[in-house]
Amino acid sequence: MATLSDVARRAGVSPATASRVINGSSKPVTDELRERVLAAVAELQYVPNAHAQLLARSHRSAVGVIVHDVSDPYFAEITRGLQRVATDQGRLLMICNSYRDPDRELEYVELLRGHQVAALILAGSGYHDEAFTRQLNEKLAAYEATGGRVAVIGRHEHSGDAVMPDNRTGGYLAGRELCGLGHRAIGVVAGPRILTTTTDRLAGLRQALTEQGRELPERRIRYAEFDRDGGAEATARLLDADPELTAIVALNDSMAIGALATLRGRGLAVPQQISVLGFDDMPIARDVTPALTTVRLPLVDMGVRAMSLVLGVGAPTPRVEVLPAELVRRDTAGPVPPSTRAPAGSAPRARRGDTAS
Amino acid sequence: MATLSDVARRAGVSPATASRVINGSSKPVTDELRERVLAAVAELQYVPNAHAQLLARSHRSAVGVIVHDVSDPYFAEITRGLQRVATDQGRLLMICNSYRDPDRELEYVELLRGHQVAALILAGSGYHDEAFTRQLNEKLAAYEATGGRVAVIGRHEHSGDAVMPDNRTGGYLAGRELCGLGHRAIGVVAGPRILTTTTDRLAGLRQALTEQGRELPERRIRYAEFDRDGGAEATARLLDADPELTAIVALNDSMAIGALATLRGRGLAVPQQISVLGFDDMPIARDVTPALTTVRLPLVDMGVRAMSLVLGVGAPTPRVEVLPAELVRRDTAGPVPPSTRAPAGSAPRARRGDTAS
DNA sequence: TCCCTGCGGGAAAGGGCTTTCTCTGCGGTA
DNA sequence: TACCGCAGAGAAAGCCCTTTCCCGCAGGGA
């Protein structure tokens, strides 16, 4: 690889001058030398060594991002928001997938710190795990102590800047909707119980049911991976245990899609025989059939806010922002079937929208 | 940030010794000093500066990846394959989204070169653009000249290592399937015509039709963005121009999903009134209703192969691997309706409208 | 007793760049 | 004419590590 001094030598100038030309330094350089340097750069196909630059420069520029999995639409949307702001500000993003492994998360904090990122954003759910939370907080504190900025998305455990989707209210909205439609036998297809996202959404859901004098017993909850196959499998287990169910709440849209697949496999009509509610409103939700009724979270916006917080753009923002959840009615949730036990032959042709909430 | 010499000072050893302890060098260090260093590391929360390490070490380790958009399922799958091998080999991946912008692609090649990546992988379609192709090849050649390894996925323009999905045969399979089902009026919802992926798939499709004595006139092709909304919109235009169509081939699954949405919005039953074929077989394809008939590409495997090629794992592989496409029959393609013209009176039950425009 | 060997440790030379500081030479002022 | 100031260029000091090279010392063989 050609180095700066190669360029300088070829142009007949000092490395200092070459550097100034290449970086557009404020220090003036005569046109003639500038030309020579530029010519040398082109001839040698010179590209500055980023590591050397970063080492020599004092200020840090890149921003580190730790998500569970960028290819999961939930994080893809958040990341889109993060990117948008970062690009505007001329920042490079380093994105790491933890695949929901706490240890890997810890490792990535170190890795990104080692890469001298100016800020760190952790997106995704927190864990119900004292020891881990403490460790993570220590590491984040150490990082902040050296001037790094930290923001978390959807995790309570960190004391600094945070963007929180209102998972609890989201769960509550889902519960209220289903109650309004007359459902009593409601099953839940939940993500891993160690995740705060799972428990928060569950808590809101339970609150709604309780307010309506109904309940959500543990036997009507199945925990599984937060993805399509987890949802399919949990739904199967739920149905096996309790065939009377008239509604299923999936704690994210991927699981809801899995649930829909299982239901279809068993010949249960949605929403005529059984209703399904999702959570997140990821883009594909409107394209499945029937289109998914779900709780929308402003995913892109969450990313935008978090990045803005950490980069300090705009007015001095509050350090914790809670973004609202919102129910999106589509076609998978309908009124409870007239008889809980749907007659096998003639499923009622119930359509959504007749019932006000 | 604490530095290595801070650690060394605190432990009362030289930086050399501290470095050896921290990196587990082969050079022996007495247990006592080792303990002291480790203690100092813990107390100072020391994390080595990655840039300094990379600068000091000679060998490059990270691998650069340029894709159109990781959050697009097509690339998400490929990336999964890339990751798998990279992780096995202890390599860090730097992933960049070009968003199908040639200039950005060029920039990223430089950026990654500057970051001293050991190898570079470009995934996605090539462009029908002489000037750009030449520029890119120059840059890649310059990079290879300094010892970098390059592999491309799904692009012909580069002369080195390549993993090519068999797009042409895939198009051919789609065409043959539809002909077999009796379709004659076949429309195509295509990606941008500047992409080689588009033209390759189209070429195969056209060949199949021609062999069957049919044809694919330009008026039955609509070019749009390679995504859901592009597909929805192109389908609408196609239908407006030619309501007789009995089948639509979408040149990727995202577009197919958009096509399905438009069809649903217009109350056209799939596959009873009109058939739809996708391309890629991304995971969601089986979860839409009706489940998408599509041409499968071994996406994950493409990533695995490309990374293996570039990292030189396994046997010395051929420099160009063509991976086969395969038809996956699901529920969106059926026989051509008895009468091409659907009787006007008995319009099928219209579904709620996701308006596609 | 002397020399050689090998082990554990440190000094110091990079690695490629940025940036401060220094130096030279010129034009302008007293 | 002597001096000052400044523009433009270069020298060199880092930035933080890794790794080679070298040194001192203890133990073993002749």
**DSSP secondary structure letters along A21-63:** HHHT-SS---HHHHHHHHHHHHHHT----HHHHHHHS-S---E
The answer, yes or no, to whether residue A348 has pLDDT greater than 80, is no
Q: Is A348 or A329 the better-scoring residue by pLDDT?
A: A329
Q: What is the pLDDT of residue A218?
A: 95
Where does the pLDDT of residue A59 fall: very low under 50, low under 70, confident under 90, or very high at 90 and above? confident
The answer, yes or no, to whether residue A352 has pLDDT greater than 90, is no
Q: What is the pLDDT of residue B347?
A: 40
Percentage above 70 pLDDT, chain B: 93
Q: Closest residue by Cα to the C1' atom of nucleotide C7? A: B28
Strand ranges inside chain A, DSSP E: 63-67, 93-97, 119-123, 149-153, 161-165, 186-190, 221-223, 247-250, 275-277, 294-296, 320-323, 326-328
B 239-298, residues with C-beta < 7 Å of strand C? none
Where does the pLDDT of residue B118 fall: very low under 50, low under 70, confident under 90, or very high at 90 and above? very high
Percentage above 90 pLDDT, chain B: 86
Q: Kindly determine whether the C-beta of residue B22 is less than 7 Å away from any atom of nucleic acid strand D.
A: yes
Where does the pLDDT of residue A318 fall: very low under 50, low under 70, confident under 90, or very high at 90 and above? low
B295 φ, ψ (degrees, to nearest 5): -100, 120
- Chain A residues with CB under 8 Å of B286 CB are 261
Measured in angstroms, the CA of B158 and the nearest CA of chain A are apart by 19
Where does the pLDDT of residue B151 fall: very low under 50, low under 70, confident under 90, or very high at 90 and above? very high
Average pLDDT over residues A9-26: 94
Distance, Å, A24 CA → C30 C1'? 39
Nearest Cα to Cα of residue A56 among B52, B16, B222: B52
- Chain B residues with CB under 8 Å of A46 CB are none
DSSP state at residue B161:
E
Give the separation between CA B167 and CA A144, rounded to whole angstroms. 50
Per residue in A280-310, pLDDT tens? Answer: 999 999 999 999 999 999 999 999 999 999 9
Task: Output the CA torsion sign for A83, A86, A89, A92.
Answer: negative
Give the separation between CA B163 and CA B227, rounded to whole angstroms. 23
Helices (runs of H) and strands (runs of E) counted in chain B: 12, 12
Q: Give the range among A224-233, B23-32, B174-183, B345-354 with minimum mean pLDDT.
A: B345-354
DSSP three-state, residue A279: coil
Per residue in B88-103, pLDDT tens? Answer: 998 999 999 999 999 9
Q: Which two tokens stand for residue B19?
A: 């470095």
The answer, yes or no, to whether residue A146 has pLDDT greater than 80, is yes
- Chain B residues with CB under 8 Å of A331 CB are 352
Q: Give the range among A53-62, B166-175, B213-222 with minimum mean pLDDT.
A: A53-62
CB atoms within 10 A of CB B210: 12
B294 φ, ψ (degrees, to nearest 5): -155, 175
- Chain B residues with CB under 8 Å of A330 CB are 352
CB atoms within 10 A of CB A194: 16
A 34-93, residues with C-beta < 7 Å of strand C? 46, 48-49, 52-53, 55-58
Q: What is the pLDDT of residue A165?
A: 97
On strand D, nucleotides with any atom < 7 Å from a protein CB are 7-12, 14-20
Strand-pair category, B119-123 with B149-153 = parallel
Per residue in A64-101, pLDDT tens? Answer: 999 999 989 999 999 999 999 999 998 999 999 999 99
What is the secondary structure of A57-103 as a DSSP string? S-S---EEEEES-TTSHHHHHHHHHHHHHHHHTT--EEEEE-TT-HH
B61 burial level (CB within 10 Å; 0-12, 13-18, 19+)? middle
Q: Give me the sheet containing B221-223, strands edge to edge.
A: B221-223, B186-190, B247-250, B275-277
For chain B, the maximum distance between any two Cα atoms, rounded to a whole number of angstroms, is 92
B205-B207-B209-B213 Cα dihedral, nearest 10 degrees: 170
CB atoms within 10 A of CB A288: 24
Per residue in B239-281, pLDDT tens? Answer: 999 999 999 999 999 999 999 999 999 999 999 999 999 999 9
Q: Which two tokens stand for residue B22?
A: 């921290």
Alpha-carbon distance values, A66 to A108, A192, A312, B342 (Å): 7, 19, 19, 53
Contact predicate B21/B38, CB 8 Å = yes
Nearest nucleotide to A57 (CA to C1') is C18
Q: What is the pLDDT of residue A126?
A: 93
Nearest Cα to Cα of residue A257 among A280, A238, A223, A240: A280
Q: What is the pLDDT of residue A185?
A: 95
Q: What is the pLDDT of residue B21?
A: 96
CA A28 to chain centre: 46
Average pLDDT over residues B314-342: 83
- Interface check for A58 against chain B (CB to CB < 8 A): the answer is no
**Summary mean pLDDT of chain A:** 92
Task: Output the CA torsion sign for B227, B228, B229, B232.
Answer: positive
Q: Kindly determine whether the C-beta of residue B55 is less than 7 Å away from any atom of nucleic acid strand C.
A: yes
Average pLDDT over residues A182-209: 97
Give the separation between CA A15 and CA A3, rounded to whole angstroms. 10
| Chain A interface disruption, residue of B4, B47, B97, most A CBs within 10 A | B47
Contact predicate B175/B207, CB 8 Å = yes
Q: Which two tokens stand for residue B221?
A: 């092709």
Q: Which two tokens stand for residue B51?
A: 């840039």
Residues 143-162 of A with CB under 8 A from B: 146
Nearest CA in chain B to A138: B45
CA atoms within 13 A on the CB side of B202: 20
Contact A261 B71 (CB under 8 A): no
The answer, yes or no, to whether residue A345 has pLDDT greater than 80, is no
Average pLDDT over residues A138-162: 91
Q: What is the pLDDT of residue B114?
A: 95
Nearest CA in chain A to B75: A71
CB atoms within 10 A of CB A64: 25
- Interface check for B71 against chain A (CB to CB < 8 A): the answer is yes
CA atoms within 13 A on the CB side of B227: 12
Contact predicate B3/B12, CB 8 Å = no
Give the separation between CA B179 and CA B175, rounded to whole angstroms. 6
Distance, Å, A114 CA → D10 C1'? 34
Nearest Cα to Cα of residue B258 among B295, B299, B221, B288: B288
Q: pTM for the full model?
A: 0.89
Contact A70 B73 (CB under 8 A): no
Name the residue facing B71 among A48, A71, A286 (closest C-beta). Answer: A71
Contact predicate A231/A250, CB 8 Å = yes
A261 Cβ contact list (under 8 Å, min separation 6)? A228, A232, B286, B287
- Interface check for B353 against chain A (CB to CB < 8 A): the answer is no
Name the strand (E) or helix (H) holding B275.
Answer: strand B275-277
Measured in angstroms, the CA of B1 and the nearest CA of chain A are apart by 5
The answer, yes or no, to whether residue A103 has pLDDT greater than 60, is yes
Contact B116 A79 (CB under 8 A): no
Average pLDDT over residues B201-208: 98
DSSP three-state, residue B66: strand
Q: What is the pLDDT of residue B71?
A: 87
Nearest CA in chain A to B92: A96
The answer, yes or no, to whether residue A342 has pLDDT greater than 80, is no
Give the separation between CA A76 and CA A70, rounded to whole angstroms. 5
Alpha-carbon distance values, B239 to B263, B279, B349 (Å): 9, 20, 19
Q: What is the pLDDT of residue A27?
A: 87
**Summary mean pLDDT of chain B:** 92
Name the strand (E) or helix (H) holding B21.
Answer: helix B15-23
| Chain B interface disruption, residue of A22, A45, A68, A136, most B CBs within 10 A | A45
Residues 272-291 of A with CB under 8 A from B: 283-284, 286-291
Contact A114 B70 (CB under 8 A): no
Average pLDDT over residues B139-160: 90
Q: Kindly determine whether the C-beta of residue B19 is less than 7 Å away from any atom of nucleic acid strand D.
A: yes
Q: Which two tokens stand for residue B287?
A: 């979860």
Verify cis geometry, omega within 30 degrees of 0, for the bond prior to A318.
Answer: no
CA A333 to chain centre: 25
